[in-house]
Structure 1
Amino acid sequence: MKKLSIFTLLILSCSLVVQAQRPATTTEYNANTRFEQIGAALPTPNTFRTAAGSPGRDYWQQKADYDIKAELDDSKQSITATEKITYTNNAPEELRYLWLQLDQNLFAKGSMGSSIGQSAINPANGASFNTLGNMTGANAKDYGYKISAVKDALGKDLKYTINETMMRIDLPTPLTKGMAFTLQVDWKFNIVDLKGSGARSGYELFPKDGNVLYEIAQWFPRMAVYDDVNGWQHKQFLGQGEFTLPFGDYKVALTVPNDMVVGATGELQNAKDVLTTTQIKRWEQAKNTKSPIAIVTQEEAEAAEKGKPTGKKTWVYAAKNVRDFAFAASRKFIWDAMQVDVEGKKVWAMSLYPKEANPLWGQYSTRVVAHTLTSYSKRSVAYPYPVAYSVHGSVGGMEYPMMSFNGARPEADGTYSEGTKNFLISVVIHEVGHNFFPMIVNSDERQWSWMDEGLNTFLECLASQEWDRNFPVGGIEPQAITGYMKIDAAKQNPIMSSSDNILPGTFGPNAYSKPATGLNILRESVMGRELFDYAFKEYSRRWAFKHPTPADFFRTMEDASGVDLDWFWKGWFYSVEPADQAIANVEWYSIDSQDPSKLKAAAKADADAKAQTLSNIRNKTDIKETVVEADPTMKDFYNTYDRYAVTDADKKKYEQYLSTLSEDDKKLIEEGKNFYVVNLKNKGGLIMPIIIQMQFEDGTKEDVRIPAEIWRLNDKEVKKTLVTTKKVAKFKLDPYHEIPDIDTSDNAFPKEPEQPTKFQAFKQRSFGSGGSNPMQEALKNKPAGTQTSGDKK
């Protein structure tokens, strides 16, 4: 821009030269640290994992195949089983021992997981007998695995050592690359009572009819992961950090009372042995419908509840290339299903639920499963498995390959609140969505909860918005995370914290909401949807059925988009700094045209405005006549001189000035642009893009988006000159709530008035119960003979 020296300050009474976009000078900044490459924080690339974030030419992973035969004892709530594991070593080094996970040992009396839990007694509040029983061990049952045998393929005993929730099996000879080893483990355990335990797996007793619903997972000794990053991942299972498992093929035979319905990971291999002819016909019918078909009806489930088993049935399931196996069993189960087209492939969407879950589950569960599969497939990889289940029980929400356990139960009268309905939809989307992360893109949950929970929460919110435009989605909106980001930094963990080390009460925002919100900020405000969606899908494609790390995600997102995001990973994932931007002040400039008519007209208007003082206004009436008004001889030249008139000398001087300007310079003057220098501060420390909305005097608006890199030379304060034709009435930061600004009181210039604190005026305060839900109220007030969706059928 030329002729910057002709800028004249109109608002501030000081003379200075404006140089647009020059960074503010200060010695107190660390912007270079924030914008330098992430470097040593990520592992060095190698032939296993490349600098681009993809698997390298020498990438390898182990394989574990299972053949399990198990029996469920409904009278004792226990499982007895034998499993054969065939473990294939694809690592370049030999293995002298194997590690298995014994997750049920978490519930054993005196386990490490129970011992490290903090506890206290508050004398003022007292303590329940249940609490005291838990502390003394009086309530402890005989939980945990009872291992009866560990043998090789020839039936010879193998030496093994149990260390809490891990078991090391010593191999008779080293297992070299390409070799497979088969071992057999015989075991049993008592199933955890879900009531009050908060477990991810167990049983629920329905006292009214005396029947039990089983949601069974982490139920068999499972191979730990051995990889190029950690070697053996054998961190103890302490309850919070979840699971890390290798892929393999499964064949599982589940023997249960013959009146139970079983759903499990994989495909049912012997439907004709366990289903009636009528149920098989319904199964076939469900392949070609757009709505779920009941394979086992509510009437059939209610009949089973009242009967007694006359024997046993064995349900056989098989699954290929999965990392885990879970199942559910109950005589209470209603079973509905439909097939959904997922990118040209037919996939079963199914639900299992007791009558207590209706009518809510019958209307929504399976349809939500189908929607989740199509939504997630579009954004990651096409769902590769043949089926996806949603199972209702008292496990609030948990995920396994092709299986998910979900909560949300209506009231006893069949009505439900809007919150219960929305929770059902969101929890089904979330848990079914976990089929993609981490069941397919197989990250290490024991170490990095955010790699599955955060990515999945992000996709859950997108799928929820596609389900219902008005669905209440808060898990990815920046303003929803500000409450967490406001708390004391000492009470937060960086996202890049080990799962079991996240502080109490912060696991949800740390592992779910904050990473999901970060991805949304990348998609909407940093990268844009097109670049983000492509890179995210590429990450999913690269690491499907493999074991990615955070570095693989970070590198792929940059590699596939061409956007340098190291500053974002540092700020959002490695620190706990909050976002807090502010408009410190705005300076308004325009070009001095040197036009005498404009200059003198402006000077006259300014003088007239300044003359409107209270004294001058009152003097017009209080001073009846001045000396000069009374005696005209007191007037001279200056009493009639118009100092604001344009003279010939003024015009000549202006013409001489114009002759020195180019046509471009003259055009710039004629346009009458406004130059606003906006002084912005980064008070919180977290680097974010800047979004400024200019609200003009004529009521129109214009948004200005400035990339985060504007902070690269000074991370505390920057200035930005905005050029407009119209006059700006107000500047506003972040008008669409794109960044989690913890203090928005300084986001407008001129500053917006604060809102008053509301209080309630009353004559007499009354306190009542929570009342009924709206559906119950509608049922009370409905005309006779009508029906609502809450009525039981």
Structure 2
Amino acid sequence: MNKLFTLTGLLFFSGSVAMAQNTQNNPGSNHGNKFEQLGTILPTPNEQRTASGAPGVKYWQQRADYNIKCELDEKNLLLTGSETITYTNNSPDPLTYIWLQLDENEHSTDRSANYQDATKMPATGTIKNLDQLSATGNNGYGINITKLTDAAGKNLKYTVNKTMMRVDLPVALRTGQKFIFNIDWNYKISDRMSVGGRGGYEFFPTDGNYLFTMTQWYPRLCVYSDFQGWQNHQFTGRGEFALTFGDFKVQMTVPADHLVGSTGECVNYSAVLNPTQLSRYNAAKTAATPVEIQTLAEAKAAETKKSTAKKTWVFNANNVRDFAWTSSRKFIWDAMPQKIQANNNTVMCMSFYGKEAYNLYSKFSTRAVAHTIKTYSDFTIPYPYPVAQSIEAANGMEYPMICFNYGRTDTDGTYSESTKNGMLGVIIHEVGHNFFPMIVNSDERQWTWMDEGLNSFVEYLTEELWDNKFPSKKGPAYTIVDYMKLPKDELEPIMTNSENITRFGPNAYSKPATGLNILRETIMGRELFDYAFKEYSRRWAFKHPEPADLFRTMEDASGEDLDWFWRGWFYGTDPCDISLDSVKFAKADFPKDLPEAKSKMVKIDKPAVNAFEDISKIRNREDKKNNFYVDKTPGAQDFYYKYDRGMVTVDTTVATKTQPAATLEAVPSAEQGKYDNKFLYELSFSNKGGLVMPVIVEFTYKDGTKEIDRIPAQIWRHNELKTSKFYIKDKEVASILIDPLRETADIDTSNNTWGGKVKESKFKVYKTKAGGAVRGQSVGKNPMQAASK
């Protein structure tokens, strides 16, 4: 979902901060923390989820298939439905109950709607605000369950807890068994423009019509998984959905003059479209540009004539995790195909929109849908579904094969560039959600970043390939700097539960997207990253991945140890602030006088025996069964056997002077030219922000040329606070700039530069003399030599 965060009315969110565990291996030191492996921070691999990040040989997941019939009552703003659900238990566990989501209860006052929100009294308010806050008892919203039976028609016992419903099973549902049950329900459709939420209606007073977005509209199964059992956390409006894959057959009865867009493929267009519309739809299947199936003029005419008749639209969708639809007589409808070469899939790309959006949507929407599914297919997996569509609904929310977006013109049909770019961004983002999490089906209720962050990253790649000048806001490292430099009490790690995040947009969308882009461009390189990211998408398509599955797969498929990056960027809140503290400069000097070898005083070694007789040595001597080898083997007894036992007397108090053999000699004139004209620099860096990152150094030479050196983050491994790098250059450096392309999200660039004059010093160069000390030889006089005298 592309969320627009505004404070409306008297309701304000106050979330507590929950820090994800980021254990330190050596907290009192300047090393051994940031580069330690994640170890026990990640869950233990098992037969369901392997250490490589792939699903294991015993991976399993549940299945839920739906047959739904519903009717939209436009006059009374009521939706009535009945559904048959077939739930398959593929787990190894017998289940005595199952959990369903009743998301519409979010709006109900007597079912603890918004129970988590704090409220404040501002200086001004509105009657609508006060009406909402003063409402008590039952405000009429929320799902009403009118019947719940098993396949034989026998009533089932159930319990509703806020937005969750537990259905108690007559007998335990064992591995491989199916449970079929029926639910009848209804609910009052809410005005999402005033009440809020993802689904509901928008009313257009100028023409007296409604635009319905039917989302989270039916009771649906929660996920039961190997890593947490039932995911039945309450829906509070923020953390989105954890859902189970299955097949859907859905029949929607709506006013006869409405057009319906939906998840899946319509199987009865011939019954619900007029001959002209059907002909245009068939022509659109092979068109090179969008074809209007319902034109602007026809949509305007439909707004003035409200039919009292009804039509039933039938849609089928296979292997999807959710189902959403839209209905209105206001819609213009256009479509064109997009071929996905990798799986030979021709996708019908479509848009539905009112006259208020015509000059924007008719030109851009369907083209953006086609561009998005093609680009995402290139970076992840081939798009598998037959349809992808964008609905203009002053919104930003996603479902399989359908999403709801914003982008309306001014009343005269003109629009600003920011409106255009915002519309393109939200369409790309919401269509992209088909891949994350509709196919790579992460748990949005727990880890928002796994769908929003990953999707925002591929959105950035897609925007960049839409227009090289596109003003992308999520992805470039420099755009996250203002967030990264906030005080620590305003931050939490990316690895934080959705409900506990304070600054939701930057944390769940921008920071993970930026991190992945830094991995791709700065740390791993495009080739390694793209291969590993595609492998993650392939492994977990139509499955339920967890964060560890992503982290492990990215390392497994690339051969890169990235634990330091996950630890810093995802489990921590430290920013990047690398400072160029100093620059030393020298020219090579070739002295003829060698450094004088310094002598040192060395005493003769004392016997090499332990200073303290430990209990083991004592007991070994007392044990008469022990016969020590050297004691019984004269051939193994040398000078030191006697020396250690005081059988040889040596004066160890006298120190003798020793002088090491010369190891250096002057560099011959013929060899001095190799380094005579070199410029030598030592750059000293400090890690002021705490986040270890690569150090990117740009040298500008006095002749105006430039050179960039990319130092891997591992330069900080043995000292996470300070490090240095020595360079030998052919030309004199005029200035140095750290992170010239702003790749690392460095929060303070004022300490990234060096330039101007520096005092030149000499760097003495010698030649190594052949020979010299050999490892393992004695230094100074040894006891054997002293004893012989």
TM-score range normalised by the length of the shorter chain: 0.7 to 0.9
Please give the TM-score of this superposition, normalised by the length of structure 1.
0.82
Shift of residue 198, structure 1, vs aligned partner:
2.7
Q: Which residue matches 1:183?
A: 181
Q: Could you tell me how far apart the structure 2 residues matched to 1:137 and 1:152 are? A: 36
Aligned to 1:461: 460
- How far apart are residue 673 of structure 1 and its match? 1.3
Kindly state the Cα deviation for residue 129 of structure 1 after the two structures are TM-superposed.
2.1
The residue aligned with 2:706 is: 701
| Separation of aligned partners in 2, 1:216 and 1:361 | 21
- Residue in structure 2 matched with residue 115 of structure 1 by the alignment: 115
Contact 2:109 2:137 in 1 (8 A): no
Tell me what 1:710 maps to: 715
Match of 1:661 in 2: 667
Q: Equivalent residue for 1:225?
A: 223
Q: Structure 2, unaligned stretches of length 5 or more?
A: 1-25, 594-663, 758-789
2:587 equivalent in structure 1: 590
In the TM superposition, 1:498-509 aligns within 5 A as 498-503=497-502, 506-509=503-506
Deviation readout 1:318-349 (Å, 9 max, x if unpaired) = 00000000000000011100011112321100
In 2, the alpha carbon distance for the partners of 1:540 and 1:665 equals 57
Summarize deviations over 1:198-250 as a string: whole Å, max 9, x none. 31111000101100000110000010000000100000001110001000000
Amino acid in structure 1 at the alignment position of 2:250: V
1:243 lines up with 2:241 in the alignment: yes
Equivalent pairs counted in the alignment come to 661
What does 1:482-497 correspond to in 2, within 5 Å?
A: 482-497=481-496
C-alpha spacing 1:484/1:521, structure 2 compared with 1 (3 Å) = same
Aligned to 2:755: 750
State the partner residue of 1:106.
Answer: 106
- C-alpha change, 1:751 and 1:209, in structure 2 (3 Å) is farther
Cα separation, 2, equivalents of 1:127 and 1:437: 39
Partners of 2:734 and 2:756 within 8 A in 1:
no
SS in 2 for 1:35: coil
Contact 2:262–2:315 at 8 Å: present in 1 too?
A: yes
- 1:707 and 1:197 map into 2 onto residues whose CA distance is 51
Counterparts of 1:312 and 1:165, CA distance in 2: 32
| Residues 96, 174 of structure 1: 8 Å contact kept | yes
Question: Following the alignment from structure 2 to structure 1, what is the Cα–Cα distance between the partners of residues 675 and 541?
Answer: 60
**Residue correspondence of structure 1 range 422-441 to structure 2 within 5 A:** 422-441=421-440
Whole-Å separation in 2 of the counterparts to 1:138 and 1:374: 50
Among candidates 674, 677, 686, match of residue 681 of structure 1: 686
Q: Which residue pairs with 1:420 in the alignment? A: 419
Please list, as runs of the form range in 1=range in 2, the aligned pairs for 1:127-206 lying within 5 A after superposition: 127-137=125-135, 141-206=139-204
Q: Does 1:565 align with 2:562?
A: yes
Which whole-Å CA distance do the structure 2 matches of 1:751 and 1:154 have between them? 87
Cα distance in 1, alignment partners of residues 376 and 268 from structure 2 = 30
CA distance, structure 2, for counterparts of residue 31 and residue 334 of structure 1: 62
- Distance, in Å, in 2 between the alignment partners of 1:65 and 1:558 is 36
Q: Which residue of 2 aligns with 1:96?
A: 96
Indicate how the Cα distance of structure 1 residues 579 and 413 shifts in structure 2: closer, same or farther if over 3 A, else same: same
Decide whether aligned partners of structure 1 residues 28 and 66 sit closer, same or farther in structure 2, where only a CA change above 3 A counts. Answer: closer
Q: Conserved in 2, the CA contact under 8 Å of 1:36 and 1:567?
A: yes
Q: CA deviation at 1:283?
A: 1.0
The aligned counterpart of 1:211 is 209
Give the equivalent residue in structure 1 for 2:339.
341
| Residue matched to 1:780 | none
One-letter identity of the residue aligned with 2:220: R
Query: Distance in 2 between the 1:126 and 1:674 partners?
Result: 68
Q: Aligned partners of 1:31 and 1:481: how far apart in 2? A: 27
CA contact (8 A) 2:592 2:666 kept: no
| CA apart distance, 1:130 | 2.2
Per the alignment, in what secondary structure is the counterpart of residue 34 of structure 1?
coil
Give the C-alpha shift of residue 554 in structure 1. 0.3
**1:196, distance to aligned residue in structure 2 (A):** 2.3
Structure 1 Cα separation of the partners of residues 82 and 242 of structure 2 = 22
Instruction: State the AA in 2 paired with 1:168.
Output: R
| TM-score, reference length from structure 2 | 0.82
CA contact (8 A) 2:27 2:33 kept: no
Compare 342-351 and 561-570 and name the one that shifted more: 342-351
CA 1:63–1:659: 2 relative to 1, 3 Å: closer
Deviation at 1:86, TM superposition (A): 0.1
**Which AA in structure 2 matches 1:535?**
A
User: Corresponding residue for 1:556?
Assistant: 553
**% of aligned pairs identical?**
52
1:299 shift after superposition:
1.6
Once residues 681 and 195 of structure 1 are traced to their aligned partners in structure 2, the CA distance between those partners, rounded to angstroms, is: 51
Say if 1:54 and 1:552, in contact at 8 Å, map to a contact too. Answer: yes
Q: Whole-Å Cα distance in 1 between the matches of residues 357 and 136 of structure 2?
A: 34
Partner of 1:789: none
**Structure 1 residue 595 displacement after superposition:** 8.9
- 1:257 is displaced (CA, Å) by 0.6
Cα 1:139–1:389 shift into 2, 3 Å: farther
Aligned residue for 1:576? Answer: 573
Cα shift at 1:139: 11
How far is 1:30 from its partner? Answer: 3.5
Residue in 1 aligned with 2:741?
736
* 3-state SS, counterpart of residue 170 of structure 2: strand
The 1:595–1:198 alpha-carbon spacing in structure 2 relative to 1, beyond 3 Å, is farther
- Residue 720 of structure 1 pairs with residue 725 of structure 2: yes
Task: Give the corresponding residue for 1:313.
Answer: 311
Q: Cα gap change, 1:299/1:140 in structure 2, threshold over 3 Å: closer, same or farther?
A: farther
Task: Name the CA shift for 1:198/1:663 in 2 (closer, same or farther; >3 Å).
Answer: farther
- Judge conservation of contact 1:68–1:84 (CA < 8 Å) in 2: yes
